[in-house]
Amino acid sequence: GAKFIHVFYCFARHVMIEKMKKLSLGTGIPFAEAVMRRPRNRYIVKARHRVAYSKLLQILQREYFVFQEYRRKAQ
């Protein structure tokens, strides 16, 4: 449900940030610091969250659809 999607989104964001930290280490590119900063405008934060959440939901729905089609064709 919605709680699972939210937890999965938070986990994916955490993994992405950790991977960016690892990849940008020693390169002089402050990607991870930019991601960790929080904008002062709460509207922008909420808008970014909605966009990312919607995108993740679309991806999960598409995967579910492909899985169902594969299962249907396998029978």
Each residue's pLDDT tens digit, 17-62:
777 777 666 656 565 555 666 667 778 777 877 887 888 788 888 8
> Are 42 and 35 spatial neighbours (Cβ–Cβ below 8 Å)?
no
In 3D space, the residue among 9, 22, 1, 4 whose CA is nearest the CA of residue 56 turns out to be 9
What is the structure's pLDDT at 26? Answer: 64
For residue 44, give its domain range. Answer: 2-74
Please count the structural domains in the chain. 1
Most confident of 1-10, 20-29, 37-46, 64-73: 64-73
- In this prediction the pTM is 0.46
How many whole angstroms separate alpha carbon 50 and alpha carbon 67?
A: 26
